[in-house]
Amino acid sequence: MTTVVFLSLLLSAAPNDGSPASSQSLESPPVVDDSPTAWSCTADTLRSGKDCVFEAELTPSEPNKDQAANNVRTIQQLGRTLCAEAARASSEDGKPDRNLAASCEKRYSTAAERCDLQGTVPIVDTKGRFAPAARACYRAVSGVLQETQMMATVAAPCCQCAAQSGCPGAGDRCYADLTQQKAGASTLACMRDRCADSCSLAPPAAAPKKAAAPPKSEPRPEPGSASL
């Protein structure tokens, strides 16, 4: 139950947008605003891929197994929401690509295993800001989300069409191969032939190399002719 409540706070945490506070008397004592700033690393910056600052202030304690497990669980549960969002980056119907979302969750969950922080601090504070000790964790899961967004934009429509059209190489590896330009020539040729509209962002198939022409032989001089 604690993790669910904590996750809700993390997803709902938003940086301070700098909007003016309600009018106060000039004689009133200054009020300290300790809400997350626009540069703070939160679930929102993790979602958008924006640069951020790890500004949470947490005091390390002795390693705690329960805290370590809770840290990993918090990030893994957050991944279900973020992967679904990343997998529908360019979806026309607003629905995530299920194959891509499942792949994202699997890779995200593996990356989240490094988010235990040895249980010395919570992964985020009560305001949803990531702990400074969570840099490696944050970068790992952020990398998974950004790759998924790229695949959703560049590869998902093409790979879906290729699978329905029976193109070779249109299985689970299609997304990564197409994004990293590792798809084979026969796969790309089939995509261009059968899925031209869906594969407009796919790299073009390499043109076959022409065989080199044999060198021309020099004409031999006729007998009795003198060379100049």
Residue 217: predicted pLDDT: 58
Residue 60: predicted pLDDT: 92
Residue 19: predicted pLDDT: 47
Residues shown for the chain: 228
- The CA distance from 204 to 199, in Å, is 9
Residue 204: predicted pLDDT: 55
- The CA distance from 105 to 76, in Å, is 8
Residue 178: predicted pLDDT: 86
Tokens at residue 169, please?
A: 């190489």
Residue 40: predicted pLDDT: 92
Q: Quick check: 165 and 69 in contact, CB under 8 A?
A: no
Q: Which residue in this structure is represented by tokens 């080199």?
A: 212
DSSP letters, 28-75, are: SPP----S--TTB--HHHHHHT---B--------S--HHHHHHHHHHH
Q: What is the pTM of this model?
A: 0.68
- The CA distance from 9 to 166, in Å, is 45
Residue 22: predicted pLDDT: 44
pLDDT tens-place values along the chain, 228 residues long: 555 545 655 665 555 555 444 444 546 555 445 555 678 999 999 999 999 999 888 999 999 999 999 999 999 999 989 999 999 866 666 788 888 899 999 999 999 999 999 999 999 999 999 999 999 999 999 999 999 998 888 888 888 888 888 888 877 788 888 888 888 888 888 988 998 888 876 655 444 444 455 556 555 555 554 444
Residue 228: predicted pLDDT: 40
Residue 184: predicted pLDDT: 87
